[in-house]
Amino acid sequence: MAEGVGMAAKPKDHYATDRTVGPGAKIAHQLLRRKVNESIRLLNHDFQITQTELIDVMCECVHMDCTEHVAMTRVAYESLRRIPTHFVVKAGHEVAEGERIVSEADEYVVIEKNGREGIYAISADPRRRQIRAGAVNA
């Protein structure tokens, strides 16, 4: 049999689609979205958005072509950012492999990355970098 003929590639789980890629690219994509959301947070702070007002943040799911936004309060956003392995994803965008649901709201789910991706999420946390830079510059 010729290579690849008659052999269909099967996704690892029922959530996997052609919109997902390998694990390294997935976490890199999620970390980029987290960085964008941190910039959105700073803008909202500059515009003096109160803690209870809703802000729109980007979905931090693994789907590379996702353009969804999630509305959440600043309090909820700050709460999820306290733990660098937590990401906000639009409800229904969570996947089974490499993450678990830690809380749910109507429009979004907070997921926790585990394993190697969790370690990478901690090391790339923009808030940890700010703390380290502040300590060095103090």
pLDDT in tens, 65-98: 999 999 999 889 999 999 999 999 999 999 888 8
User: Any idea what the Cα angle at residue 95 is, between residues 93 and 97, rounded to 5°?
Assistant: 165
| Owning domain of residue 112 | 23-125
Residue 8 resides in a domain: no
Task: Give 7-59 pLDDT, tens digit per residue.
Answer: 333 333 333 443 445 557 888 889 899 998 888 877 766 666 666 788 899 99
CA distance 69 to 121: 21
Residue 96 lies in a domain: yes
C-alpha 43/C-alpha 56 separation (Å) is 11
Domain count, the chain: 1
Residue 133 lies in a domain: no
In a domain, residue 104? The reply is yes
pLDDT of residue 53: 80
Any domain includes 73: yes
Give the pLDDT confidence of 89-122 residue by residue, as tens digits. Answer: 999 999 888 889 999 999 999 999 999 999 989 9
The answer to whether position 40 is within a domain reads yes
Residue 83 CA to its chain's centroid (Å):
12
Looking at the domain assignment, is residue 34 inside a domain?
Answer: yes
Q: Please tell me the pTM assigned to this model.
A: 0.70
